[in-house]
Amino acid sequence: MRRSRPLLRHLLSGAAARSRRSITYMPRPGDGAPRPVTLIPGDGIGPLVTGAVRQVMEAMHAPVYFETYEVHGHMTTVPPEVIDSIRRNKVCLKGGLATPVGGGVSSLNMQLRKELDLYASLVHCFNLPGLPTRHEKVNIVVIRENTEGEYSGLEHEVVPGVVESLKVMTKFCSERIAKYAFEYAYLNNRKKVTAVHKANIMKLADGLFLESCREVATKYPGIKYNEIIVDNCCMQLVSKPEQFDVMVTPNLYGNLVANTAAGIAGGTGVMPGGNVGQDHAVFEQGASAGNVGNEKLLEQKKANPVALLLSSSMMLRHLQFPLFADRLETAVKRVIAEGKYRTKDLGGSSTTQEVVDAVIAKLE
């Protein structure tokens, strides 16, 4: 045992960190120029966790600078200068925007996705080493159609007391989300794509979705494809999550599946995610369970910054700064693995700032 312990220590500490350096990346001249990114702190815990991202980016001297805009969930629309800024910068990082229940005010999150046509929402749910959960071997990416389906926002009151809500499914949107899901799997060396549906009941609507997925699947013979009905899917998620790899879903099912998968793998406080379209990308906490944190979290400043930190690392990779992304992810994972600084949702009692300081200390 004594002979192997130094080897174990070397493997655990040195090899993982040092093995990064043998990957070399030959940038084009000028690739190091700083890139502007639109930053929207948002509501609730938003300002707290986006502040955390700012601090860590500064500590790394990342070639990113932020253009900050104040947007709040109770506004009727997203201000035009914010949209202009995102169109110009192409990349945005945002905290959550609170969506008022009822009252006819449409969700600003949805508005933003429709305005910029961010048709794919991506949440990466995976077990973090050192964070104990009831489910192991979870490594699921949920790719969810973001613009139509049950969330079209088309509702009307037929007669007083009777409301109709339209779920719209189009071939166009189903095809492009299926294409994105298979392209994602291809580029990320994933082996299987699962389509989630309820076509036994909604034969035409979800049938159209499945048809598009099957067509795209034939173009990727190297990737396995299967389909699962959404209720069975939820049950399988909580009993045998290791069977899932990439999941492609319409809007509503994706929302639920993503939050479930986030929950089994460690909670919505740690899962990264983003929304992408042809031209723009908006990064935010992967799954937020529809809220922006409760009052107590806000007052005590104990919100979990990990999800947004990992999302900003996805953003750095999207901006083609892979080494900065690696450094950030490595530091965050070390902090979680060590277990000394954890917010309440991870079983600890640290504040946001303590977690941020720990991450900065572990940057190399």
User: Which residues in this chain contact its own copies in the complex, by CB under 8 A?
Assistant: 1, 3-5, 7-8, 11-12, 15-16, 19-32, 61, 63, 120, 122, 124, 126, 139, 141, 176, 179-180, 183-184, 186-189, 222, 272, 274, 276-278, 281, 314, 317-318, 320-327, 329, 364
CB of residue 268 vs its own copies: minimum separation in angstroms?
A: 16
Close Cβ partners of 221 (under 8 Å, ≥ 6 residues apart): none
- CB of 228 or CB of 270, closer to its own copies: 270
CB of residue 135 vs its own copies: minimum separation in angstroms?
A: 15
Spatial contact of 346 and 33, defined as CB atoms under 8 Å apart: no
CB of residue 320 vs its own copies: minimum separation in angstroms?
A: 7
- CB of 140 or CB of 199, closer to its own copies: 140
- CB of 179 or CB of 342, closer to its own copies: 179
- CB of 90 or CB of 301, closer to its own copies: 90
CA angle, 361 then 69 then 315, to 5° = 45
Angle between helices 322-338 and 46-60 (to 10 degrees): 120
Tell me the residue type at 189: N
Secondary structure of residue 7 in the 3-state scheme? helix
Tell me the residue type at 6: P
Longest dimension (CA), the chain: 80
Q: Please give the helix or strand (H or E) that residue 350 lies within, else none.
A: none
In the numeric block, which tokens belong to residue 93? 């990082």
- CB of 176 or CB of 197, closer to its own copies: 176
CB of residue 308 vs its own copies: minimum separation in angstroms?
A: 15
Task: Note the residue count of the chain.
Answer: 364
CB of residue 166 vs its own copies: minimum separation in angstroms?
A: 26
Rounded Cα distance between 282 and 93, Å, is 6
120 forms beta bridges with: 145, 276
Angle between helices 46-60 and 352-361 (to 10 degrees): 20
Rounded Cα distance between 194 and 135, Å, is 20
- CB of 192 or CB of 301, closer to its own copies: 192
- CB of 4 or CB of 76, closer to its own copies: 4
CB of residue 223 vs its own copies: minimum separation in angstroms?
A: 10
Tokens 């999207």 belong to residue: 318
CB of residue 230 vs its own copies: minimum separation in angstroms?
A: 23
